[in-house]
Structure 1
Amino acid sequence: MSFNCFNSPSRRRFLAGTAAMVATSAVAQDASSVNSAATTQGEQDLTETVPRNISSFRTLDWRPYFSDLNNGAVLVDIDSRALHYWAEDESFYKLYPSSVPLTEELTRRGRTKITRKVEGPSWRPTPSMLKRNPDWPEFIGPGPDNPMGTHALYLSWTYYRIHGTHDTRKIGRQSSNGCIGLYNEHIAELYEMTKVGTQVLLI
């Protein structure tokens, strides 16, 4: 079995990437509070790196969590902010850093599955999101301002997704309203590996 584990970027690469992102999308960030730094709780200064729970960001075996690997399996560990994927035939295993919900109240744990896959997703805030954030737009189409990034995996739970993000500062942080976020290059990879029916467990 081959392992593809994520190595955290250096502070220099992180700061350089952040500076470039801010410079190229300042207008978009100002235009939509959906992608603002204020959506990251307890870790407001996004110009600096923060602890990423590296000690708990480790490879896992699928057996304590799933009875089989039919259709492949996705495990999301909220505490370590990591997403694990095992291929159905056990030929490979992937481990990705992820963003997680802002609060425990927004977090859902348990078993679900992928029910739909969308490349270039559009986004609509849920009624509860609009209640908490009345200044948010009611719809954002595909593109660089879309908080769901380039790909989305819809789960059997209403409103819950595993998706990408154009705001890479949010990965490894509490920064979502319930969904699980990945770097766009990682969600694109996961999108190709998973299928409708892939089992998902959030712990």
Structure 2
Amino acid sequence: MNKIAFWFTKVCLLLTCFTSNALEFNLPQDKSRLVGELTYYTAKKGDYFQKLAEDFNVGFLALMEANPGVDPLRPEPGTELLIPTQMILPYGKHEGIVINLSELRLYFFDTKKQKVHVFPVGIGRIGHMTPTLIDKITEKRKNPNWFPTADHREEYLEKHGKEMPKMIPAGPDNPLGDYAMRIGTSAYLIHGTNQRFGIGMRASAGCIRMHPEDIEWLFKKSPSGTRVKIINTPIKMTYIEPDTRIIEIHSPLTDNEGNIPSLLPISNGVQRFIGNNPEDLEILEELILDPNGLPVEIRSE
């Protein structure tokens, strides 16, 4: 995830507008939590990762993580790319909105229709890490005004040498976009954006940022009182069939002090899931040292 600083400026120069739709899956009817299938795409001349991320509605960093060694600005035409459209659902109650910071993904669970909708999101950058929490949507605003925090205004003053307005009215200069939903009584919002960059990246001041068309959809589907759970879980596990184990590992997020947490030693839960087979442990070690954010099958016993 620390690659963001290198690519952020270059990506901004290539952005344009694309339409996108949420990834939608039926909820598994068995005990498995694996949904979707990997998408394979052959790069063409003129492709770049930000465009592909929007075309497939996946995160920019997720696309980079799944395709190490590929230039995200100019992938070689003919290169076969992996699009991360398969995933393990987060562990726990599948209700309302669940955001896994490690994945930079938001899950919306429609329990009536037994479906889950998955969106890429932008989250807090280093120094402004989005907190983990369990709460609910308490306020919804269409065409919201933005009231920058004191910290945000202080940073703006240091950077630009002038005061930032205490209120930014709704409109094209408002970074909240056209829709915003407050989480609990906190200052944290799930909101849109007036720019196309930063989705699937660590780019916000702590809020959850979504594509304009995605937040519009979510806004209409999420009444006040909708449960919101924010987690930070880089390792997810599940079974498909009794003896087939699937593990998905993401790069741990750099903390506010600039430290990258280690995934080692592995937790007791991961140890029990993997077992003691040397080949399985070798696969696990490779994934921890070089996470790809993709579900990987662990050899059946």
Give the structure-2-normalised TM-score: 0.48
Residue matched to 1:44: 9
Match status 1:65 vs 2:92: yes
Question: Contact 2:128–2:205 (CA<8 Å) still a contact in 1?
Answer: no
- 1:79-125 deviation digits (Å, cap 9, x = unpaired): 22111100132433211111111115432112121001111111010
Deviations 1:43-72 (A, max 9, x none): 23222546521346644436x222x63xxx
- Find the counterpart in structure 2 of residue 137 from structure 1: 165
Residue deviations 1:7-61, cap 9 Å, x none? xxxxxxxxxxxxxxxxxxxxxxxxxxxxxxxxx8552322254652134664443
Give 2:188's aligned residue: 160
**Are the equivalent residues in 1 in contact too, given 2:134–2:227 (CA < 8 A)?**
yes
Instruction: Give 1:130 shift.
Output: 1.4
Name the amino acid aligned to 2:149. Answer: T
Q: Deviations over 1:148-186 (max 9, x none)?
A: 001001111421000000201121111110100001100
2:119 to 96, 107, 114: 96
Secondary structure in structure 2 of the residue aligned to 1:76: strand
Letter in 1 for 2:180: A
Q: Tell me whether 100-109 or 178-187 shows the greater mean CA deviation.
A: 100-109
- Please state if 1:187 is matched with 2:196: no
Long gaps (5+) in structure 2: 15-48, 51-59, 67-83, 232-301
Q: Give yes or no for contact 1:150–1:164 (8 Å, CA) kept in 2.
A: yes
Kindly provide the amino acid, as one letter, of the partner of residue 207 in structure 2: C
Q: Which amino acid aligns with 1:130?
A: R
Unaligned 5+ runs, structure 1:
1-39
Backbone CA RMSD of aligned residues: 2.2
Q: Residues of 1 paired with 2:136 and 2:230: CA distance?
A: 10
Please say which structure displays the higher CA radius of gyration: 2
In 2: Cα distance, 1:145 partner to 1:164 partner: 12
From the two aligned structures, give the one with the greater helix fraction: 1
Deviates more, 1:98-107 or 1:73-82: 98-107
Tell me the residue number matched to 2:103: 80
Cα distance in structure 1, aligned partners of 2:230 and 2:127:
13
AA aligned to 2:133 is: G
The answer for the alignment partner of 1:5 in structure 2 is: none
Residues 165, 110 of structure 1: alpha-carbon distance in 2 compared, 3 angstrom cutoff: same
The aligned amino acid for 1:44 is T
2:252 aligned residue: none
Q: Which residues of 2 match residues 113-124 of structure 1 at below 5 A?
A: 113-124=136-147
**Ranges of 4+ aligned residues in structure 1 off by more than 3 Å:** 48-51, 54-62
Residue 169 of structure 1 aligns to a residue whose secondary structure is coil
Name the CA distance, whole Å, in 2 between partners of 1:145 and 1:105.
22
d(CA) in 2 for partners of 1:84, 1:159? 21
- Asked if the contact 1:164–1:182 (Cα under 8 Å) also holds between the matched residues in 2, the reply is yes
Distance verdict in 2 for CA 1:60–1:118, change over 3 Å: farther
Partner of 1:53: 62
CA distance in 2, matches of 1:81, 1:157: 23
Structure 1 residue aligned with 2:130: 107
